[in-house]
A and B are shown apart, each in its own frame.
Chain A
């Protein structure tokens, strides 16, 4: 199963996780793992998700999550896991 990494970075505010998770649930994207920290008021979250069940094209999900991020006031990135695996694992 190919996994996807979603990162959310920005100023902490109420409901960030709720809004992102709602979007994922609405699009049949299953969350496998979440880790999150707050450093000096900055919200930093990484989700590992499975996009195999969604009907949407990957590029569309990237764009929609980007738009959602701008609405909340945070930066949301959605990338295939391989780029991180390749870079950090031999």
Chain B
């Protein structure tokens, strides 16, 4: 039977170490909303979302009460809208109407973000894909809760460099259109290589076309819990360190599994996956960078950081995989800059550069996330940064992403403020040498040799 100390340990994690379930994300297929009449598509999309997700927020709140665990976000992901709107949308403006419908539906059911204003163009772009991509700046600027993602490459297909080049322009345009808000629209836009179909985390969540009609995916968190556990084993060897991370990850993930099963039961919607990520927030003590420091680094970014992060990421997975029946999504340590006070401190101290962050993305989930660069960075350089990150994902058969904020009107040393869970970010210096001739070549980079496994 459960004893007093185990109960106290769990409650301590919740009360003092920021243990929470970061998100319950309800994935909804909108493939049955497709029509050649735009008005009908908009109507069906709104009806479907507001019907399937009507009890999502209420259920999330009920589970919070039952188990005494905070569930920070309740969110929705939908089928990539380039598929849904493909037959009806003849212009960027047509796609923007779909974004507005998603926004209206999200507000109606009370979720704080809705993901899936997306296109999957890892090998080539259809006309609809391109229209959607070109509509992103306006779509994000005229909505509050819509998140957008574009898959630009994969290990199986290579990298669509035409789309990479285009996204360099689109990200800059998204920054310019929202320059009065510190280019904040860019927070809602992410590009991927090897994007997973079942990721519950924003801004990159979408409901893949291989998924069922509706599904519950849950993202857990808990950097603070891992850090506190590691404080107890200071000075011990790597074996002890790894065992401690593994056991802690197991406990954290079990909570996610429980919440996912309960939400699935209450909503009568199948359980998809638990994403066992260490997702930081700007709250003190809820930081992945602090874990790296606890492992033994002065700051995140110091020599040894990549090794420490590789170890952390691997142990989180090893502990988490046994704790859940289905693991998916991004699953690993997130290293966003603006959402992690320890990362911000490291940038300000001069310990962490974009190049080091890029190295770190080779060994953990996702990629260059929530970092601000000078507003006058050329579009081609943004495309070059994206291409590098896509190449890491393609060659290493992992998901990588770029969510970057060109801070319009700001330079190195200044900062951009996003507020809430998104935090703030110091503007980081970018390598000033040009890659223009490279990204302007056009076409695609072929799939790597190790993708031919047949």
Which residues does A use to contact B, with CB under 8 Å? Answer: 5, 7, 9, 33, 35-37, 44, 46, 48, 58-59, 62, 77-89
List B residues 52-71 near A (Cβ within 8 Å).
Answer: 62, 65-69
What are the 8 tightest A-B residue pairs by CB atom distance, in nearest-first order?
Answer: A79-B68, A83-B67, A86-B254, A59-B65, A88-B6, A86-B258, A84-B2, A46-B4
Q: Which residues of A contact B7 (CB under 8 A)?
A: 5, 7, 46, 84
Render B1-19 as a binary contact track against A, CB cut-off 8 A, 1 for contact: 1111011111100000000
A63 to B8, CA, bound (A): 20
Residue B255 is within 8 A (CB to CB) of chain A in the complex: yes
Q: Which residues of A contact B10 (CB under 8 A)?
A: 83-84, 87-88
Q: Which residues of A contact B11 (CB under 8 A)?
A: 7, 9, 77
Residue B251 is within 8 A (CB to CB) of chain A in the complex: yes
A2 to B284, CA, bound (A): 36
Q: Which residues of B contact A80 (CB under 8 A)?
A: 66-67
Whether A7 and B8, one on each chain, are in contact in the complex, defined by CB atoms closer than 8 angstroms, is yes
Minimum CB distance partner of A61 in chain B: B65
Q: Which residues of B contact A81 (CB under 8 A)?
A: 2
**Given A48-B1, A58-B65: A83 and B8 interface contact (C-beta under 8 Å):** no
Q: Which residues of B contact A7 (CB under 8 A)?
A: 7-8, 11
Whether A5 and B2, one on each chain, are in contact in the complex, defined by CB atoms closer than 8 angstroms, is yes
Whether A35 and B254, one on each chain, are in contact in the complex, defined by CB atoms closer than 8 angstroms, is no
A44 to B10, CA, bound (A): 14
Pick the residue among B3, B4, B62, B69 that contacts A83 (CB under 8 A). B69
Which residues does B use to contact A, with CB under 8 Å? Answer: 1-4, 6-11, 62, 65-69, 251, 254-255, 257-258
Pick the residue among B1, B6, B8 that contacts A44 (CB under 8 A). B8
Whether A44 and B65, one on each chain, are in contact in the complex, defined by CB atoms closer than 8 angstroms, is no
7 residue pairs of the A-B complex, CB under 8 angstroms, read A7-B8, A35-B4, A46-B4, A46-B7, A59-B66, A83-B69, A87-B255
A89 to B250, CA, bound (A): 11
A5 to B254, CA, bound (A): 18
Minimum CB distance partner of B254 in chain A: A86
A35 to B8, CA, bound (A): 12
A82 to B255, CA, bound (A): 9
A14 to B3, CA, bound (A): 24
Apart from A46-B3, A79-B66, A86-B254, list 4 A-B contacts with CB within 8 A.
A7-B8, A44-B8, A48-B2, A88-B6
A80 to B258, CA, bound (A): 11
Q: Which residues of B contact A46 (CB under 8 A)?
A: 3-4, 7-8
**Given A46-B4, A46-B7, A77-B11: A86 and B255 interface contact (C-beta under 8 Å):** yes
Minimum CB distance partner of A84 in chain B: B2
Whether A62 and B65, one on each chain, are in contact in the complex, defined by CB atoms closer than 8 angstroms, is yes
Q: Which residues of A contact B68 (CB under 8 A)?
A: 62, 77-79, 83
Whether B258 and A82, one on each chain, are in contact in the complex, defined by CB atoms closer than 8 angstroms, is yes
Q: Which residues of B contact A83 (CB under 8 A)?
A: 10, 67-69, 255, 258
Whether A35 and B3, one on each chain, are in contact in the complex, defined by CB atoms closer than 8 angstroms, is yes
Q: Min CB distance, B153 to chain A, in Å? A: 38
Whether A86 and B1, one on each chain, are in contact in the complex, defined by CB atoms closer than 8 angstroms, is no
A85 to B3, CA, bound (A): 10
A59 to B66, CA, bound (A): 7
Whether A87 and B4, one on each chain, are in contact in the complex, defined by CB atoms closer than 8 angstroms, is no
Q: Which residues of A contact B69 (CB under 8 A)?
A: 83
Q: Which residues of A contact B254 (CB under 8 A)?
A: 86-87
Whether A37 and B4, one on each chain, are in contact in the complex, defined by CB atoms closer than 8 angstroms, is yes
Q: Which residues of A contact B8 (CB under 8 A)?
A: 7, 9, 44, 46
A86 to B6, CA, bound (A): 11
Q: Min CB distance, B251 to chain A, in Å? A: 5
Q: Which residues of A contact B251 (CB under 8 A)?
A: 87-88
A25 to B414, CA, bound (A): 61
Q: Min CB distance, B411 to chain A, in Å? A: 47
Whether A59 and B62, one on each chain, are in contact in the complex, defined by CB atoms closer than 8 angstroms, is yes
